[in-house]
Each structure stands twice: as C-alpha cells, then as structure tokens.
Structure 1
C-alpha cells in the first residue's frame, strides 16, 4: 500500500470519549449527541429503564417514573458499566429528575454516580444549565418544557432554578405540540418558542432530553437575540469541557464560545 494512502474516519474518539446515560426508549439524546460530536469525539451510550411509554397518544410523564429513574440500582449500574471504558466524561441524559431532586439532590446524584465511575466526571443537565448561565453572565431565564411534562413538573423545574439564584421569567410546557417525542417537528417548536418567550428574559432553556431541539438553537438565537440552552446541548457542552475539549461548535449556541466557569 502506498505511504500516501488515505484512510476514512472510523469514529475513534482520539480527542475525547463521552459517555451518555439515557432512558431505554429515548432516541433523542443519543441522536443529538452524535450531531454535536465533531471529528475525533465519540459517544458511548448506556440505557436505563424508564417507566413511561411514549406513542401516538401517550399520557403525560408520571412523577413516580421520573423519581424512579434517578434511584438505584439501574442508573448506578449504567454508570459503573460505562466506566469500564476509557471515557473522559459521562453525561446524565435525563432532565426531569433534576426538577424533582432540586439542586441539592442533583449534587448528591452526581456524587453517587461519580463513586460508581471512579475518576470519570459526571455532568448533570440542570447543574450544567446553572454553570452555563454563569458563563454567559445572565441571571434570568425562560423555561420551556416538552408537551409531555405535566404542569406540576414544570413548576418543580422553575423552583429548581429559583433555588439556584436564577430569576424565572416564564415556565410552561409547550402545549399544542405533539405529545409523542417522535412527532415533535423543529419548525413547530421554533414557532412556539418565538411566540411565548417574554421580552424581559435574558436566556431560554428548552428542558427535556427527549425534546428534539438542538436544530432550532441558532435560528432562535438569531430571532430573539438571546442565548438558547437545551438539555442535550448544555450537558454535552459541560461534558466536552470536563474532557478538556475547548472547541467552539458553530451553529449550536453561544454557550460553546465559553469555558466552564471556575
């Protein structure tokens, strides 16, 4: 073979390997992570049972199922198994349990999972949002959740950020959009957020790892002149930074221009 032979990418994570803990029936976090991963960054997922089944006419997600996802043993086992690989960081791809746990409970979840992973750091979505808002230098937030989140779960989410020192200008589920995650269209989400975002807010967070949303970030930032965070984007940002990758990803939000705050 010639010394000048060209080789195709084989997906090897030469720059960073990111683990992902995701619900067993959710394709969105993994899909969006792969879209965000640039050359030399690989994504490795472990699935955890979630007691909620989506479909053409799904019920709203139940709070008991949300709580159970974050409890031992399944999520701990997933973290432990991911840690058998040479990963640089692990992302917890489930937002709604944070809303119920609160900031202190999230910190305990992070510590518990990091016992299972040893030296591999774990990024939690809502903790990542708080860090991202600090990095962006903003203190107010509009919170938009998936249409399958009940109103009380959205209120728990607003309370989470208030406890973190963030003023929540708006918090609601995107009612009117499809309740089946596979049926959410980015165009409809974009129009819904444009219509409902209050002018007074300094930032937007689109909660829910199962909400297909990273494709609308750039368009919303341009239309509203605000930084936009989404569950998968922001936890991927933190995981990248924990892995030592300071790259700015074009088209997926202003947050990628920033390092993790001290």
Structure 2
C-alpha cells in the first residue's frame, strides 16, 4: 500500500480525490487533511497567507497519523503566488514539518509537463486575471512556454466548486490556441476527475488539472507510476528519461 497525503485549504473539490483513488485501481490510498482557511477569496495577499508554515502545520499531524508517505500542498494559489523561489522554500518547510517528501500542485504541473515532453502550454483558469498571470509566470520560471491564458474571473473557490462538466469544457476550449501542446486547468476547486477523458477527446491533446496533477505528484514523490487511462494522458505515458 502506498499512502499519499494531500493538504487542502478548505474543502476544495474534495470528492475528486476518492474518485481518483478508485480509478487508480491499485494499492494506493489518498488521505486528505485540511489546513486553516480563514477567508474564501482569490486576493493574492490572502492566498499567500494560506501557505504559511503555521497554516500548513495544522494539517500535517493528521497526515502523519494516517501513515502518509508523501505530502502535496494542493492550495495552488497559496503556492505559485509566492513565485518559484518562494514556493520552493515553502515546500522545503513543509518537508521539514511533515518529515516526509513534499511538493505542491504548482510544481506538479511543471513536473507533469516535463514528463510528457511538453513545452508549449495554455492556461485556463477560473481565477481573476492577476492570479492567472502569476501562474503563467510560475510556469515560465519552470521552463515552459505559455502560449496564452484565459481567466474566468471568479473571486471565490466556492463559485468554482459549483462548475459542472460543460463549464469546465468551455473554459478548456477557450484557453486552447493553435500550437498549444496541452491545456492546464490549475484551480484545485474545480471538479475535473470525472471529465478528463472528455476534455482530452474534445481538445485532442493532454489536459492537466489540479486534482489529477496533485495525486500524480504524490506518486512521483513515492517513486510510483500507475497506468490509469481514465485519468488522462498523464497516467498512460511511461516516464521520460531526463537529460
């Protein structure tokens, strides 16, 4: 049994994770614990506050007690809003707190793109434009070319959590532009696990989403690879050998 730990700021698309666990169809468990989440708003300063060591510590003990072997911080905006260097320091602090390998969903997007050999990606975000721009900057710092961004302008995670399949598909299509190798949907409040096959069929390219990438990143930290086609191209490709 491989036990993965996911830290979430509040109840962001929580039911995606048991669905993914079921679709993996293997000896993998995904444990969720919540951190502090005082205010549901997409303000940059507020999101930065969700990723402090004090906030992250609130969920770490629960993951240790559950027997998690790795931990991924799924508050994407509370990671990439600090920039590449700030997010790296945050992950190092989380690893020290948890006593296990740690990462964040933000880094998961970059690592997943690299594993699939992707260089040119587009972003479809429910976020306001300023936050979407910060995510695009984070991807560029990770060596990716961002071909375009699309912002839905939602100011709370609760709003994103109400979106259904058609809303998510519309956003992904709006973000897609010629020459894009993949579309990234970074909001962890979006329910996407049930829609991945449809999204990739509609766009004819890989689609990476927050909950999908979060679990994949936890597996990467645990040195596990699982073939699960219903979870998209990311879960059907053999890992590339990095130069």
Asked if these proteins are the same fold (TM beyond 0.5), I'd say yes
The higher radius of gyration belongs to 1
Larger helix proportion of the pair: 2
Q: Distance in 1 between matches of 2:74 and 2:92?
A: 16
Moved more, 155-164 or 239-248: 239-248
Q: Per-residue deviation at 1:261?
A: 5.8
Q: Which residue of 1 aligns with 2:67?
A: 86
Cα deviation per residue 1:104-162 (whole Å; 9 max; x = unaligned)?
111111110100111x211311111111111111111101111xx22111111111111
Structure 2 contact 150–174 (Cα < 8 Å) conserved: no
Cα deviation per residue 1:162-213 (whole Å; 9 max; x = unaligned)?
122211111122359x971332111222133224411221111101111112
| Root-mean-square deviation (Å) | 2.2
Contiguous gaps of at least 5 residues in structure 2:
none
Structure 2 contact 116–240 (Cα < 8 Å) conserved: no
2:30 is the counterpart of 1:43: yes
Structure 2 contact 116–239 (Cα < 8 Å) conserved: no
Quick one: which of 231, 243, 246 aligns to 2:222?
A: 243
Structure 2 contact 53–90 (Cα < 8 Å) conserved: no
Cα deviation per residue 1:83-120 (whole Å; 9 max; x = unaligned)?
243222112111112221112111111110100111x2
Q: Which residue of 1 aligns with 2:197?
A: 218
Give 3-state SS (helix, strand or coil) of 1:223's partner.
helix
Q: Which residue of 1 aligns with 2:82?
A: 101
Q: Per-residue deviation at 1:243?
A: 2.4
Contiguous gaps of at least 5 residues in structure 1:
1-14, 54-59
Cα deviation per residue 1:195-235 (whole Å; 9 max; x = unaligned)?
44112211111011111122222112122221110111012
Q: Check 1:195–1:100 CA distance in 2 against 1; reply closer, same or farther (3 A cut).
A: closer
Q: Which residue of 2 aligns with 1:128?
A: 108
Structure 1 contact 52–61 (Cα < 8 Å) conserved: no
Structure 1 contact 16–88 (Cα < 8 Å) conserved: yes
Q: Check 1:87–1:261 CA distance in 2 against 1; reply closer, same or farther (3 A cut).
A: farther
- The alignment's TM-score, normalised by the length of structure 2, stands at 0.89
Q: Which residue of 2 aligns with 1:56?
A: none
Q: Which residue of 1 aligns with 2:182?
A: 203
Q: Check 1:115–1:196 CA distance in 2 against 1; reply closer, same or farther (3 A cut).
A: closer
Q: Which residue of 2 aligns with 1:33?
A: 17
Q: Distance in 1 between matches of 2:200 and 2:94?
A: 33
Q: Distance in 1 between matches of 2:185 and 2:9?
A: 18
Structure 1 contact 70–97 (Cα < 8 Å) conserved: yes
> How many matched pairs?
237
Q: Distance in 1 between matches of 2:201 and 2:68?
A: 35
Q: Which residue of 2 aligns with 1:156?
A: 134
Q: Check 1:52–1:77 CA distance in 2 against 1; reply closer, same or farther (3 A cut).
A: closer
